[in-house]
Structure 1
Amino acid sequence: MTTSPPDIMSPELMTYPYREYGRLREQGAVVRGVFMGDTPAWFVTRFEEVRAVLGDPRFINDPASVPGAPATDVRRLYIERYGLPEDYARYMADSILAMDPPDHARLRKLVSRAFTVRRVTELRPRVEAIADQLLGGMTGRVDLVERFAYPLPITVICELVGLPEASRPAWRHWGRELTSMDPKLMPAAVRGMVDGAQALVDARRADPTTHDDLLGGLVRVHDEHDGRLSDTELVTFVMTLVLAGHETTAHLIGNGTVALLTHPDQLALLRERPELWPTAVHELMRWCGPVLVTKPRYAAADVELGGVRIRAGEIVQPVLVSANFDPRRYPDPDRLDVTRQPEGRGEGHVGFGHGAHYCLGAALARQEAEVALRALFERFPDLRLDVDPGELRWEQMPGSRRLAELPVRL
């Protein structure tokens, strides 16, 4: 049982996230803990309170926006802990994911049209073709993470952004090293991504007229509309779109595959009623989504939340996984139910976040997961795990639930 203050870096929370975050939820809606070992933080654990934080403009991403004395900058702690190069630090600290209005809204508007439901629907035939091609080359025993869950979303996002095919293996390599939490690997990954993104921008600027993709559009905005997009923002945007556009989707596909293989009744129901796949993807995002916690927020003013007074400048850590299993919100929350319908408006879960920072690519991620999982189980009706579920290797990554590999027998 966990006796020390909760910290997303703790082995218990990384190894047993559902159990340990669930214990925190039942201790209280807002629980005192620490961030990265010694920095005080508030863990927000229950559904209503997590949604409240994510939708409340008084909880911000950039500590520099806190009036008065500056708050502890957890981005700086992260950079120092993992030895990330100082001359590249701004590309990690100043992404759209870490911005507040009005800059966040300004940047989001530049790319939001590429991720509308209509645009995503138009992409579906291409996603289906990629899935069919990947599955067509698989036989026998395979690592599904390596052969399918990763290649599908990274191909889709690279085509959407405009990364040439020759550069995609490098981006996949950098993404894996950056998310490895290994200080020996992460600095080189940051350098590789920044330099790689800058090279792509330079190449597109040299040939701006022949490409109708996100990268081309961003370069034109930068060059033709002074002040709408800085040099650093342009490079950071490329990095963020590519990395965020494939990492989490890959692990939603992997986690979802395990969930359905270990719940054959739910898989059988999907085979009988394939119209349930969109609903099933939402339930999988709730039940085994790869993102367990959001980026930390800061209170910009004193706020009363869940019976606790949070002071201006204090760190607040919304916990998505405990919110998504909150029995105050969900009947029988531990049960995987692909027919589960949301209560009221919205998705009924916070797997993609909520509020201004709701996942920009949520519609694309849902579609990719639906296409991938449906194609996988239709192509291979006898698909099974090639190890006992208890022997699956999960990466020790704070705030994330992701498989190191997924050995299956086709």
Structure 2
Amino acid sequence: MTESFPVARPSGCPFDPAREYATFRRTDGLAKVSTPAGVDAYVVSRYDEVRTLLRDSRLSSRSAPSDHVVPDADLDRDVDPGSILNVDGAAHKRLRRLLATEFAAKRMEAMRPRIAAMIEERIDAMLAAGGPVDLVREFALPIPSLVICELLGVPYADRDEFQERSALLVRVDGWTDEIQRASDELDQYMVGLVQAKQAERSDDLLSRLITRGEELGDPLSLPELVSLGITLLIAGHETTANMIALSTLALLRNPEQLALLRSDPSLAPAAVEELLRYLSVVHFGLFRHVTDEVALGESTIGAGEFLIAALSSANRDESVFPDPDRLDVEREAAAHVAFGFGPHQCLGQQLARVELQEVFTRLYSRIPTLRLAVPFEEIRYRDNTLVYGVSALPVTWDRAAEAPATDRDLKSS
């Protein structure tokens, strides 16, 4: 019997993946499900097999990341030039090679002082305004938006141009005229931005991509640059913004873990990896088309079938992460697959790590009495989008307990 693809997180436990995944892992790790897209697919739920799937060249990502949860999605549509999430093989390697230098760990680490300063400025602004505030609007969304705008060379004053539209484009409840308009408008905006950079280069990622392609004798076309720019703009703020807010909520619900982090800021890197594992905000997994017969465990999947790599299930696999449903900021969790795995593993993962580490080091020490301003039960979640998170996070604090930033704090970053 074919079950429905599990899309709902358990009621009352917003940090856990769908309960069905644990059942899948206990059986053969592979379950056939019907999907909202109108096709049947196999859910791959165990850690080792998810990694095997995601590095197999016989699996196409042309409907990545999550077309399986979009009602009646067109799974045979043409892939846009420059769509790095959807192209395979040589076309994907070409785009990734051009981008790899931009997201190298050394370059991301060099951005740390600037990111730290942005975070301190936002904390100062929140403290000056006084609580309660919506942490999503006042902190979690502005930080990665500021960072990705500076990186790409997008004027931050234009943030409304992409924040509203990208929020629509990551929805999974069906394509509408409103979403089509948002897509068209964001496309037009990026065309204008790229053309301006083609005419006059600056010290930003888009300009360097244009120059690098020309120097290699393999220039990126306007459609390719537009597609890459939109992908980086959306991915660069949606995922990290949701991680900041949802991680804060998870830590507030696990005060003993937050106390550990506050008492020892050197735990920030481990806490980031653990929260990435624990929350798995790309919560519907990654969709793949089988182009040639492939064996997974004891099963053989034929060409033309569909597979779903359940990242949130792999990150709760008991054989890899003991007591996986427990948040433990001291856990060694760096082997998680929250950023995917294989050739399509997230290019911006090192940037996300730097941002999250600096947030965890600074926010909770600067505002040690941070707490929810509403009952936990009133928090509403973004469960109909590709990236899971909270719609808003009202928080407050005791003003007398605020801690000022120091020059030493910023220099040590």
Counterpart of 1:305? 296
Match of 1:351 in 2: 338
The alignment's C-alpha RMSD in Å is 2.7
SS of corresponding position for 2:89:
coil
SS at match of 2:286: coil
Pairing partner for 2:332 from 337, 341, 358: 341
Structure 2 equivalent of residue 5 of structure 1? 3
How far apart are 1:232 and its partner, in Å?
A: 1.6
Deviations 1:363-402 (A, max 9, x none): 1101101111221101111000122223210123255421
1:52-91 equivalence runs, <5 A? 52-62=52-62, 81=73, 91=80
Residues 383-398 of structure 1 aligned to structure 2 (within 5 Å):
383-397=370-384
Deviation track 1:265-317 (CA, whole Å, cap 9, x = no partner) reads 11111122211110110000000131123331122211121222100121111
Query: Whole-Å Cα distance in 2 between the matches of residues 121 and 292 of structure 1?
Result: 28
> C-alpha deviations, 1:138-169, integer Å up to 9, x for none?
12101111111111001101100111222222
8 Å Cα contact 1:32-1:43 kept in structure 2: yes
Do the aligned partners of residues 27 and 185 (structure 1) sit closer, same or farther apart at CA in structure 2, a change above 3 Å counting? farther
Tell me, yes or no, if the aligned pair for 2:62 and 2:86 is still in contact at 8 Å: yes
Aligned to 2:36: 36
- Where 1:338 maps in the other structure, the secondary structure is coil
Distance change (3 Å), C-alpha of 1:94 and 1:115: closer
**2:25: which partner in 1?**
25
Alpha carbons 2:37, 2:68 under 8 Å: kept: no
Give the corresponding residue for 2:258: 267
**Residue of structure 2 equivalent to 1:133:** 121
Question: Secondary structure at the residue paired with 1:102?
Answer: helix
CA contact under 8 A between 2:49 and 2:297: conserved in structure 1?
yes
What corresponds to 1:207 in structure 2? 200
Match of 1:253 in 2: 244
Return the alpha-carbon distance in structure 2 between the equivalents of residues 80 and 164 of structure 1. 36
Deviations 1:77-97 (Å, cap 9, x if unpaired)? 959659xxx9xx754x86101
AA of the residue aligned to 1:56: D
Among 159, 182, 185, the residue aligned to 1:189: 182
- Is 1:296 paired with 2:287? yes
Match of 1:164 in 2: 155
Work out whether 1:49 is the aligned partner of 2:37. Answer: no
**Preserved contact between residue 82 and residue 95 of structure 2 (Cα < 8 Å):** no
After superposition, residues 209-288 of structure 1 pair within 5 angstroms as: 211-221=202-212, 227-288=218-279
Deviation at 1:59, TM superposition (A): 1.7
Return the alpha-carbon distance in structure 2 between the equivalents of residues 11 and 332 of structure 1.
22
Please point out which of 74, 86, 102 is paired with 2:90.
102
**In structure 2, the residue corresponding to 1:341 is in which secondary structure?**
coil
**CA separation of 1:77/1:397 partners in 2, compared to 1, >3 Å: closer, same or farther?**
closer
Return the match for 1:401 from 369, 373, 388: 388
Contact 1:222 1:231 survives alignment (8 Å): no
Measured after TM superposition, the shift of residue 222 of structure 1 is 5.2
**Amino acid in the other structure paired with 2:348:** G
Residues 1:75 and 1:332: Cα distance change in structure 2 (over 3 Å) = closer
State which drifts further: 196-205 or 73-82.
73-82
How many equivalent pairs are there? 387
Residue number in structure 2 paired with 1:68: none
**Partner SS, residue 43 of structure 2:** strand
Q: Is the 8 A contact 1:392 1:403 kept in 2?
A: yes
Deviation sequence 1:178-198 (CA, Å, 0-9, x none)? 124462431111111111110
Matches for 1:322-333 after TM superposition, within 5 Å = 322-333=313-324
- Structure 2 residue runs of 5 or longer lacking an equivalent are 398-413
SS in structure 2 of the partner of residue 126 of structure 1 = helix
Q: Does 1:122 align with 2:117?
A: no
Is this contact kept in 2: 1:7–1:13, CA < 8 A? no
CA gap of 1:165–1:236, structure 2 versus 1, over 3 A, is same
Q: TM-score by structure 1 length?
A: 0.87
Contact preservation (8 Å) 1:47, 1:323: yes
Q: Deviations over 1:327-363 (max 9, x none)?
A: 1211111111111114xxxx22111111111110101
Secondary structure at the aligned position of 2:31 is classed as strand
Q: Deviations over 1:72-131 (max 9, x none)?
A: x9869959659xxx9xx754x861011112111110111211111111111001101111
Distance 1:285 1:160, change over 3 A: same
Q: Confirm or deny: 8 A CA contact 1:221 1:229 kept in the other structure.
A: no
Give the distance between the partners of 1:76 and 1:232, measured in 2 at CA: 26
Structure 1 equivalent of residue 369 of structure 2: 382
- Cα distance change on mapping 1:147 and 1:234 into 2, 3 Å: same
Supply the distance in 2 between the matched residues of 1:188 and 1:157 (Cα, whole angstroms). 23
Structure 1, 261-270 or 54-63: larger mean CA deviation? 54-63
Match of 1:70 in 2: none
Tell me the amino acid that sits aligned with residue 100 of structure 1: D
Equivalent in the alignment of 1:66: none
